[in-house]
Chains A and B, each alone.
Chain A
Amino acid sequence: MTETEARLKALMLLGLDGDAQAYRLLLSLLGGRLRAYFERRMRDAPGDVEDLVQETLMAVHTKRATYDRAQPFTPWAFALARYKLIDHWRRRKVRIAVPLDDYVEVLAAYAPEPGSAMDIDRALETLPQRQRDLVRQVKIEGLSLAEAGARAGVSEGAAKVALHRALKVLGERMRGRADG
């Protein structure tokens, strides 16, 4: 470990002085260690490991002026890697959160866990009567949109729009509750 650090630091100092060969060796040695670092932490998304290795190597290169020659090299390089990893998680969370909104309907309609059935009932209570009936008939009793629409005296299209709105409100209420 300390031997590796001594070697990497020596290569980095040469690289900072403009030695291309030492610098290339440093980047490829570091690349291998970064790959192992990210693989350990990205088991759920191994496809992103190489991207992170490359982003970190790029940061090592463009931000190399911030390396303090008096300090060890490894902590500096892995601080960059940590920043890239956290940044990656933050961006991925955003990416996951956006499509989730599109599935609120699905999530609300298939009450998945027994405990949440009561929550759905309670959330349903807060809807206006007509919307509540519509959700019950279509999503719980299994009527078609046309049938439910006929019962309420509206067209299939109108029933579809009303149902969509009701589910959206329901989804928002459920999420609001989950967020506390």
Chain B
Amino acid sequence: MRTDDLIDQLATAPTPVRGGAVQRRFLAAAVAAALAALVLCLGWLHTRDDLAQAVGGRMFWMKALYTVLLAAAGFLALERLARPEGVPRKALLFGGVVLAVFLSLAMAQMMMAEPHERMAMLRGQSWTVCAMHILTLALPGLAITLLVLRRMAPTRPMLTGFAAGAFAGAVSATVYGLHCGESTMVFVGVWYTLGVLGTGLLGAIAGRWALRW
């Protein structure tokens, strides 16, 4: 095809694109990811028995705040990485600070506890399944986010895939709080974080082949 013909074709009635299109698509992806995780959580894991009581407690919201902030860092990173040669400097800084603050709090909690209680805090009731549950609930969200990204222009497939995974993982972890009855920062700092980073790793691997255009 001649280039002039191609230009004619592309320029025939171009659909208008509003500003902020990238942000809107990732917000929509976050909503879809949260709904998918919610359906999985309600249908498969069910909510914790004491949910009505728990929502009055501080730890329930502390967990949600941590994972929502991680999701926000993922969102900011994606908003940069979806554009060619985008650098997610602020997002990485933000995510790093959230991680560092929460892990320091968890560490402090661990230090203040009696030595014989520390292992119990770390393991809780569900340390063997927590990260895996978060990762599983995140799978539809990861797929959705990668699909959204495929229509954009990421030029770093692995880093972008990681951001997509961490984003979907953090959304999923927020929803998982409805099921998970663990209530120590130590537990959340280790296993929730591992679930989010594990989904990020999966995203990085998938991104290598899924994010070429």
Contact = CB atoms under 8 A, between A and B. Distances in A.
A72 to B, nearest CB: 12
B187 to A, nearest CB: 39
A65 B17 contact: yes
B7 A31 contact: yes
B36 to A, nearest CB: 23
Q: Main secondary structure on chain A at its contact with chain B?
A: helix
B84 A79 contact: yes
B153 A31 contact: no
Given A16-B17, A59-B153, A66-B152, A53 B11 contact: no
Given A62-B151, A79-B155, A23 B16 contact: no
A85 B7 CA distance: 20
B11 A16 contact: no
Interface in B93-142: none
Contacts of A27: 7, 10-11
Interface string A60-75: 0111111111000001
Given A27-B10, A63-B152, A76-B83, A17 B16 contact: yes
Contact of B3 (A15, A53, A61): A53
B19 interface: yes
Given A50-B3, A80-B84, A20 B152 contact: no
A33 interface: no
Interface string B65-108: 00000000000000000111100000000000000000000000
A24 interface: yes
Interface in A99-148: none
Given A66-B83, A66-B84, A66-B153, A58 B17 contact: no
A24 B8 contact: yes
A155 interface: no
Contacts of B44: none
Interface size on A, as a range, is 20 to 34
A139 B202 CA distance: 51
B7 to A, nearest CB: 4
B211 to A, nearest CB: 11
B11 A87 contact: no
Contacts of B21: 65
Contacts, number: 82
Interface in B1-60: 1, 3-4, 6-8, 10-17, 19, 21-22, 25
Interface size on B, as a range, is 20 to 34
Nearest to A35: B3
Interface in A18-61: 18, 20-21, 23-24, 27-28, 31, 50, 53-54, 57-59, 61
A15 B14 contact: yes
Contacts of B15: 18
B155 A83 contact: yes
A18 B82 CA distance: 22
B10 A57 contact: yes
A101 to B, nearest CB: 23
Contact of B85 (A58, A64, A79, A87): A79
Contacts of B11: 15, 20-21, 23-24, 27
14 contacts: A20-B12, A23-B14, A27-B11, A31-B3, A58-B10, A62-B151, A63-B151, A66-B84, A68-B83, A79-B83, A79-B84, A80-B153, A82-B155, A83-B84
Given A18-B14, A27-B7, A65-B25, 18 more contacts: A15-B11, A18-B15, A20-B11, A21-B11, A24-B11, A27-B10, A50-B3, A59-B213, A62-B151, A64-B17, A65-B21, A66-B84, A67-B83, A69-B19, A79-B85, A79-B153, A80-B153, A83-B84
